[in-house]
Amino acid sequence: AQFTAIATIEAGMSGEQADSLARTVIEQGGYWENFGHGLGHGIGLSAHEAPRLGRGSEDVLAEGMVFTIEPGVYINGWGGVRIEDVVVLEQGRVKVLSKARKVD
């Protein structure tokens, strides 16, 4: 879900459109009901600010915006996972700023 969002989010999308990219992958994996929050949020002068990437968000993603991409799946009685990357919209596409290496 996170890889898909990073690869496909573009400037001009709404926060809801961006969220739906990851939400579709999670739904296809059978975990729709376990993704109860939004995909991410803006980072700037505060840790949580616009744009909001989630259901119902009309915030438009614009060039130069810095935000998180952090889909998570939580299973009651078991646990969950949520990996957060900080990204910037540069030349209309997502550029990952986080330096942690990921394994497929």
pLDDT of residue 91: 98
CATH of the domain at 41: 3.90.230.10
Q: Record the tokens describing residue 34, joined without a space.
A: 């376990």
Contact 35, 75 (CB under 8 A): no
Task: Quote the number of domains for the chain.
Answer: 1
pLDDT of residue 102: 79
Q: Record the tokens describing residue 60, joined without a space.
A: 């438009």
DSSP strands (E only) in 3-101: 40-42, 49-53, 66-69, 72-75, 79-82, 85-90, 93-96
pLDDT of residue 13: 98
d(CA 45, CA 66): 11
| Residue 59 falls inside a structural domain | yes
Tens of pLDDT along the chain (104 residues) come to: 999 999 999 999 999 999 999 999 999 999 999 999 999 999 999 889 999 999 999 999 999 999 999 999 999 999 999 999 999 999 999 999 999 887 76
| Residue 13 falls inside a structural domain | yes
